[in-house]
A and B are shown apart, each in its own frame.
Chain A
Amino acid sequence: MEGDELNLGLVGSGGDGVMIAGESIVSAAAREGLKCLMLKSFGPQIRGGESSCKIRISSKKVSAAPDTLDVLLAFNWNDYKRFGSELELKPEGVVVEEGDSESPEPERPIIGPQPATIYKLPLTRLAKETAGTPLARNMVALGAVSELFGLPDKEMKHSIKKMFSHKSAQIIEGNLKAYQSGKDYVLANFSKPEKLQLRIEKNLEKRLVMTGNDACAYAALLAGCRFFAGYPITPSSEIMEWLSVYMPAYGGTMIQTEDEIAALGMVLGASLAGAKAMTATSGPGMSLMTELLGLASIAEIPCVVVNAQRGGPSTGIPTKSEQSDLMQAVFGGHGDSPRVVIAPADVGDCFPVMREAFFISEKYQIPVIVLSDAFIAQCKASLHKPDLSKIRPWERARPHGIPVEDYKRFEYTPTGVSWMAIPGKDPYIYRAAGIEHDEKGNPTSEFAEHEKMNEKRYRKLKFIAEDACFMRYYGPKEAKVGIVTWGSCKGPVREAVEILNTQGLPVRAIVPQVLFPLNTDKMRAFFAGLEHLLVVELSYSKQFLNLLKTQLDLPAGTAHYGRSGAKPFAVSEIIEQIRKIAG
C-alpha cells in the first residue's frame, strides 16, 4: 500500500454479487469524501458469467485505475483465471477467500507476486446463518474487508441499505446481519494488517458517484439538449438509458431507433427544426453514421455525437477501451467534410466537454464528435460536485431585420457562419441540401461555387481552434521532458508525471482536448524548451501521432509509445517509457 490509498480487486461468478459489493464500497468511500474509482470487467456471457472489478480509494488524488492490488477478494478462483493479468497483487498484497481452517487449500492461479497473507472466511455458511441465503456471501465478504482494512463502517452500512432500498425490510436486515457477521468473524479470528489500513481524513466533503456515461447524459441535459435518438451499443447504451428517464421528464424526446443511421438522421431533422440534439454510439455505430455526418457538414446542421470507443475494428472487443476511432472521427467519410472532435479525459471532464460540444456545434453549425472511451464511459468515479454554472447554452444565430427575399441561408461571412432560420419559427424559408449549393441553397455543380463553399465551411475551423481550445497541463514548465497524450490516457500519464517529478526527473505533459481543429500555437508553445517528447496513446497504428503530424511539425526525435487497448496503461508502464527516452 503506497501512502494513503487502498487498491482492491473483486472477482467472482454471476450471483456472487461482485458488482454490488464493489459499488457499495465506492458509495461508502464517496460519502466519506474519499476519491475513488471503480473499473468493471466482464466475461462474454450476458448474465451469470465471471466478472471482476478493481477499486482504488484514496484521500488524495486518483487519476488512474490501480496497476496492482493490495487486496484481492476472490469468491471463486476459477473465475480469477479469466482476469489474471488484470488482477495482479502487489508484493505485500493479501487475499480474502471462501474457506475455513478445515477446508482443503484451493488452487490459486495467481500471476505475479503471491499473497503475503490469506484470510479465509466461511462466507457461504455465515451468509446462510445470518441472512438465510448463500446469496448474501458478498455482504459477509464486505463486512470482512471493511473490518480488515478500515473502510468507514457507518457509510458501508448506509450503502448496503441504499443498495437494497427497493427490497423488503427483511432482506435489508438480512444483508446487514451478514455484513456484521463478516466483521465479527474477522475480530474473533484475525489481527488487522497494520500496513493495509485505509487512512481517512476526517470531515471531507461528501462526493458524488457517477460514470462517464452518466456525466455525458446529464451534461447534455444541462447544455439544453432536448432531443436524443440512439441505438443500443456497448459501451455507450447507459447514456440513452439515463436520458430515457430524464429527457421526457424535462419535456424532451428520447427515441430508440432502428439503427444508427436513423439515429443520426432523426438528430439532424430535429436540429434543423431548432432542437439541440445528440446521439451516442460506439465504433460500429459511428461507421454507420458516417454518411449522415457528411450531410451535417455540407448542410451545416449542428449536432453532437458521442462515441464511447471500444476495441476495434468490427465487433472487436466491445467491453474494453481503446483509442482507435480517432482517425475515423476526424477524417471518416467521403468528401471534404469539416467536423470538430473533442475528447474528455476523465469522468468529471465530461461536463465541460459536453458543454463545449453543444456550444461549438450551435455557434458554428457544425457536427461535433465527443470521443469518450469505454474506460471513461463505464468507470464509476467519486467526484466533487461539478461547477454547473459553467454550462452555458448558446442560442443559434437566426436571421432578423432583413427582407425575407434577401435571406441567404449559406451566406459567405467572415467566420463562415451564416444565419440559420428555424422552420415554423422564422419567416425566412430556405432549402437545405446534401447536394452542393449556392448561398441561397440552390443546387449547383460549378467548380467556383464548390470551392467557395468548401472555403466557407472550413473557415469555421480556424475560429473554433481559437475559441474552443482547451488543454490540460501537468508538471513544471521548465521540465525538458514532455508528453503529449489524449483522452483517458491522461490518468496514468498524469500520475507518472507526478511520481517522476517527486523522484527528481522533471517532466511535463499536455493533454489537448479539442483534437480537431487543434490549437497548434499552444502545442508549439508547449514544445518550446523540450529536449525529449513522447506521444502516448492506446492505438496500435499510431493514430494520435499521425493526427498530430497532419496538423503541425513535431520536434525532431519525437518518440512514440502506443499499443492496443483492452488494457489501460499502468502508471509504471508510462514511467518506464519516460525513463527510457529521458536517458
Chain B
Amino acid sequence: MEAMQQAVTPPLKATDYKSGLKPVWCPGCGDFGVLNAMCQVFQQLELRPEETIIFSGIGCSSRLPGYLKSYGFNSVHGRVLPIAIGAKLANPELNVIAAGGDGDGFSIGIGHFPHTCRRNVDFTYIVMDNNIYGLTKGQLSPTSPAEMNTTTSNFGSIETPINPIALAVGCEATFVARTFAGDIKHMVNVMALGIQHKGFSFIQVLSPCVTFVGKEQFVIIKNKLHYLQDDPEYDPSDRAAAFRVVDETDRISVGVIYHKHKPDYHDNLEILRQAAAVKGDRKIEDLVEIFRP
C-alpha cells in the first residue's frame, strides 16, 4: 500500500476502467450496457481499481470481471455471494461488487441469496437478468416467464418464474432496485446509489438476450418502463409499497424500490468483538491456560 500512496493517482476516465479484453458477448447484448454503466459509476465514485474487486459466478454476465480494470474473481457457478462476503469481511475497506446472471443467482445459487440479504454485508450485487441460459445456448432459466419456449421447455414452461425483487424485499434486503440495460443514465444513477448504500444492495438489471430471447425485448421493456423517481407518491422506505411494485404486470417499475437504514454486518461484528474482547485480554500464547483444569 505504501507504493500506492506514494504514487501519483490522477483521476481516471470511465474508459480507464476497461481491461481491454474483448467481451465474448453477442453483438447487441444488454451486458455491454451494464459494463459501460459500471465504468461510468466507478469513475463517478472515484473507486480506485486496486481497492476494488469484482466477483462473479458462471454465465455470460459472469464474464464481467475480465472486462473491468480492477481486481476480479470469476469463480464457480452459483457461489459468488459467499465468496464476495468472505472478501468484504476480511477487508472491510475493499469496494466489493458481485455480478452474475439469473441462472447463477436464482437457480443454482439461490440458497445463498436470503442469507446474504439478512446478513446485510456492505457490498453490491448486480444481477443481469435475461430470463434465459445464454452461455449454454438457450435453456430455461428460473426467471423465464411462464409458457416461454426454450430448448428445454419445448412446449412452453409450466413453472412459475422467480420474482427476484419480491424475493429480495421479502428477505429483508436493505437496498433493492431495478434498472434497464437500455438506459445507461438510469443504470449509472441506480448503481451509484447501490454502491453508496451502507449494507447489502441488490440491483436487478433487465438485460435482454438478443440471441436466445430476441432483440425486440429492448422495445417491449422500454415501452413498459415506469420510473419511480418521477412518481412523487412513491416512498422507497415503505415495504408495503415495494410489495405492490413486485406484483405489477401492466408496467415495469424501475429505480430504488426499497431502501432501509440499518446497521450493517460489520457494525454488528464490531460490537460483538468488543463484547468478546474480555476473553482476549491476554497474549494468544497465554490462552493455553484456559485448558488448565
Q: Which residues of A contact B (CB under 8 A)?
A: 26-28, 30-31, 159, 162, 206, 208-210, 214, 218, 221-222, 227, 229, 245-246, 248-251, 253, 255, 257-259, 261-263, 265-275, 277, 291-292, 294-295, 299, 383, 385-386, 388, 400, 421, 423-435, 442-443
Contacts and interface: CB of A to CB of B under 8 A. Distances in A.
A218 B276 contact: no
B50 A431 contact: no
B73 interface: yes
Interface string B157-175: 0000000000000000000
Contacts of B21: 442
Contacts of B279: 245-246, 249
A162 B291 CA distance: 13
B91 A257 contact: no
B3 A427 contact: yes
B4 A423 contact: no
A206 B293 CA distance: 9
B112 A218 contact: no
Contacts, number: 194
A442 B20 CA distance: 11
The 5 closest A-B pairs by CB, nearest first: A269-B86, A249-B280, A265-B82, A27-B293, A266-B86
Interface in B204-244: none
Contact of B90 (A227, A263, A431): A227
B84 A269 contact: yes
Contact of B74 (A208, A250, A435): A435
A433 B74 contact: yes
B interface: dominant SS = helix
A273 B94 contact: yes
B72 A431 contact: yes
B93 interface: yes
Nearest to A294: B76
Interface string B6-50: 010000000000010100000000000000000000000000011
A291 B272 CA distance: 32
A268 B73 CA distance: 11
Nearest to A211: B291
B293 A258 contact: no
21 contacts: A31-B293, A209-B292, A248-B275, A251-B273, A263-B82, A265-B81, A266-B83, A268-B86, A272-B83, A273-B86, A274-B91, A291-B76, A388-B285, A421-B71, A423-B87, A423-B91, A423-B94, A424-B51, A433-B74, A442-B21, A443-B74
A275 B88 CA distance: 11
Given A26-B293, A424-B51, A266 B82 contact: yes
A270 B87 contact: yes
Specify which of A261, A273, A432 lies most central, judged by the most chain B CB atoms within 10 Å of its CB: A273
Interface in B140-157: none
Interface in B255-293: 269, 272-273, 275-280, 284-285, 287-288, 291-293
Contacts of A261: 79, 82, 111
A295 B58 CA distance: 12
Contacts of A270: 86-87, 89-90
